[in-house]
Chain A
Amino acid sequence: MDRNSNSYTFIYAAIMVILVAAILASVAMALRPMQRKNYEIEKKQNILASVNIQASATEAEEIFAENIQNMYVVNSEGEKTDGDAFNIDLKKESAKPLEEQRFPVFEFQAESGLKYIFPLRGAGLWGPIWGFVALNSDMNTIYGANFDHQGETPGLGAEIATTWFEDRFKGKEIYNEAGELVSITVTKPGQEAPEEHSVDGISGGTITSKGLEQMLLDDLGNYQEFLTKKKS
């Protein structure tokens, strides 16, 4: 057969495309359950990390099931609504109008009292950043925080996902004395900010730090009604 004829070329291309599509589709379907599982385990690890429990991938499921027994969904008015708290995608929620958005809440019973864990999602320098922040039952003091990112610069912005940075958030307060939500400022050297509402930023990671600051303010703001209700 003439390898340079048009019909040969067309048939060849068509067969190739169908074959490749079939192979890729079947592999993707075969691996999907494992990938979903990895994703869920990672999320559980992150939630646990925000309440200062370090769990390895193999034991995360068990520890999560033991410790995080109560999770629910609230709306922007702070009322509980229906929904699967664990599987809510914050990215999809943020695209909806505010009244329709739903926000997950996870509860964790620590020795020092009940903690509330809130998921966050924002923008870093190169891509999305996300995390979980746990508040004490006074709904003001941060008990722990966990952050992660998609593609921040290693050694610079990517440092937000390290424990030494996350630990700086412990004990900080998100409300000022007048009762306004001020969240936490991530400061640069020389920048004035009240001690209890700020943490030291990362040198060379300014845009990621600022993105994180904005994420905390925006996403905790979404829970404002819920926080107020729980506080009173």
Chain B
Amino acid sequence: MSEPLFSKKNIKLLSDPMNNSNPITVQVLGICSALAVTAQLKPSIVMALSVVAVMAFSNVIISLLRNTIPNRIRIIVQLVVIASLVILVDQVLKAFVYDVSKQLSVFVGLIITNCIIMGRLEAFALGNRPWPSFLDGVGNAAGYGVILIIVGFARELFGSGSIYGYQIIPDSWYISNGGFYANNGMMILPPMALITVGVIIWVQRSKNRKLIEN
């Protein structure tokens, strides 16, 4: 009972999803939003933070309620909790970081349908105490966020020649200015996000052979 707050087991809850049980690259969940918002770095980061907030709190709330939830409507209860948190995040973004909320537009609302969140509620929060659930939520959302940020970085760099909105590729390199370089328009479209995620999965699996299924 008197387990330290950051025991080895608890740290593992945080670190595992970043690595060998990453929700995107290993469990292949949450792909839809990962493709949609990663054309640029800034929305990727805000999306990652929003998912961390929604996921951590929904895990804690469900964990607190876990002994009261009627079994037959537990999915509905989970959805109500997630949906309310998402609406809260959306309202807060609209009030305090209006320009970013505009950029994310419908995708904040689509956090509700992010399979990772419901997956963690079902698999973890329903059976664990609030603190481990909180760590599990933060860990999984961060694992999701890290991939989002990597993909967003690559897509913005190669697709628009900028990082976080700042131009990186010098203007004089572009063909229109007499140079040799052109942005890869494909990078901006969702298919290249899928391919980028695929490359990340490939790298991860070649480093860790245990992840390769036969």
Chain A: residues with CB nearer than 8 A to chain B?
A: 3-4, 8-9, 12-13, 16-17, 20, 23-24, 27-28, 31, 34-35, 38-39, 41-42, 57, 150-151, 153-156, 203-204
Most buried by A among B40, B92, B98, B159: B98
The 23 sampled A-B contact pairs (Cβ below 8 Å) are A3-B70, A3-B71, A4-B71, A12-B77, A13-B70, A13-B73, A20-B80, A24-B87, A27-B88, A27-B91, A31-B91, A34-B95, A35-B94, A38-B94, A39-B98, A41-B98, A42-B98, A150-B105, A151-B105, A153-B189, A154-B160, A155-B159, A156-B185
A4 to B22, CA, bound (A): 35
A39 to B73, CA, bound (A): 39
Q: A17-B80, A151-B106 are in contact. Are A4 and B70 (CB under 8 A)?
A: yes
Q: A35-B94, A151-B105, A155-B39 are in contact. Are A24 and B70 (CB under 8 A)?
A: no
Contact between A16 and B80 (Cβ–Cβ < 8 Å)? yes
> How near does chain B come to A59, taking the closest CB pair, in angstroms?
15
With beta carbons under 8 angstroms apart, the residue of A23, A57, A151, A154 that contacts B188 is A154
9 other A-B residue contacts (CB within 8 Å) besides A12-B73, A31-B95, A35-B94? A17-B80, A20-B84, A24-B84, A38-B95, A57-B98, A151-B106, A154-B39, A154-B40, A156-B188
With beta carbons under 8 angstroms apart, the residue of A4, A24, A150, A204 that contacts B72 is A4
> What band does the interface of chain B fall in when counting residues whose beta carbon is under 8 Å from A?
20 to 34
> How near does chain B come to A1, taking the closest CB pair, in angstroms?
9
Contact with A along B84-122 (1 / 0, CB 8 A): 100110011011101100100110000000000000000
With beta carbons under 8 angstroms apart, the residue of B68, B94, B99 that contacts A3 is B68
> Helix, strand, loop or mixed for chain A's interface?
helix
Contact between A34 and B96 (Cβ–Cβ < 8 Å)? yes
Contact between B40 and A24 (Cβ–Cβ < 8 Å)? no
Contact between B69 and A23 (Cβ–Cβ < 8 Å)? no
Interface residue B76 (Cβ < 8 Å from any Cβ of A): yes
Chain B: residues with CB nearer than 8 A to chain A?
A: 39-40, 68-73, 76-77, 80, 84, 87-88, 91-92, 94-96, 98-99, 102, 105-106, 159-160, 183, 185, 188-189
> How near does chain B come to A184, taking the closest CB pair, in angstroms?
22
> How near does chain B come to A41, taking the closest CB pair, in angstroms?
8
Q: A16-B80, A27-B91, A154-B40 are in contact. Are A9 and B73 (CB under 8 A)?
A: yes
A12 / chain B contacts, CB cutoff of 8 Å: 68-70, 73, 77
> How near does chain A come to B121, taking the closest CB pair, in angstroms?
15
Contact between B98 and A38 (Cβ–Cβ < 8 Å)? yes
Q: Please give me the 10 A-B residue pairs with the lowest Cβ-Cβ distance, nearest first.
A: A155-B188, A38-B98, A34-B95, A154-B39, A31-B95, A9-B70, A35-B94, A20-B84, A31-B91, A151-B105
A20 to B82, CA, bound (A): 11
Minimum CB distance partner of A5 in chain B: B70
A204 / chain B contacts, CB cutoff of 8 Å: 185
Minimum CB distance partner of B96 in chain A: A34
B68 / chain A contacts, CB cutoff of 8 Å: 3, 12
B98 / chain A contacts, CB cutoff of 8 Å: 35, 38-39, 41-42, 57
Contact between A28 and B91 (Cβ–Cβ < 8 Å)? yes
> How near does chain A come to B44, taking the closest CB pair, in angstroms?
11
Minimum CB distance partner of A39 in chain B: B98
Contact between A155 and B160 (Cβ–Cβ < 8 Å)? yes
A20 to B81, CA, bound (A): 8
Contact between A16 and B77 (Cβ–Cβ < 8 Å)? yes
Minimum CB distance partner of A42 in chain B: B98
A153 / chain B contacts, CB cutoff of 8 Å: 39, 188-189
Contact between B92 and A31 (Cβ–Cβ < 8 Å)? yes
A84 to B15, CA, bound (A): 56
A73 to B94, CA, bound (A): 29
> How near does chain A come to B108, taking the closest CB pair, in angstroms?
12
A35 to B95, CA, bound (A): 5
A8 / chain B contacts, CB cutoff of 8 Å: 70
> How near does chain B come to A176, taking the closest CB pair, in angstroms?
30
With beta carbons under 8 angstroms apart, the residue of B77, B88, B102 that contacts A24 is B88
